[in-house]
Structure 1
Amino acid sequence: MAECNCCKSTSNIACNIGSFNSEERIRYDELRKELNVNRSIEELPNGYRFIYPNQPTLLLTIVEWISYENRCCPFIEFSLQVSGEADFIRLDLTGDQAVKDLLKEEFHLG
Structure 2
Amino acid sequence: MPIACCHTVFTKEERLDYKEIWSELDKRRLAVTEIEAGFQYQFPGDSDTLRYLSVWISLERKCCPFLTFTVIASSEDEPIFLQLTGKEDAKAFLRSEINDKIILITTLNNNSF
Tell me the TM-score range normalised by the shorter chain.
0.7 to 0.9
Unaligned runs of 5+ in 1: 1-11
Query: Which of the pair is proportionally richer in helix?
Result: 2
Superposed displacement of residue 107, structure 1: 3.0
Match of 2:87 among 84, 91, 96: 96
| 1:107 maps to 2:99 | yes
- What amino acid is aligned across from residue 71 of structure 2 in structure 1? L
Structure 2 matches for 1:17-96, cutoff 5 A? 17-39=7-29, 40-84=31-75, 86-96=77-87
Instruction: Give TM-score, length-normalised by structure 2.
Output: 0.78
Unaligned runs of 5+ in 2: 101-113
Percent identical pairs in the alignment equals: 35
State whether residues 46 and 77 of structure 2, in contact with CA within 8 Å, keep that contact through their aligned partners in structure 1. Answer: no
Q: How many equivalent pairs are there?
A: 97
Superposed displacement of residue 86, structure 1: 4.9
Other structure's SS at 2:33 match:
strand
Over the aligned positions, Cα root-mean-square deviation in angstroms equals: 1.5
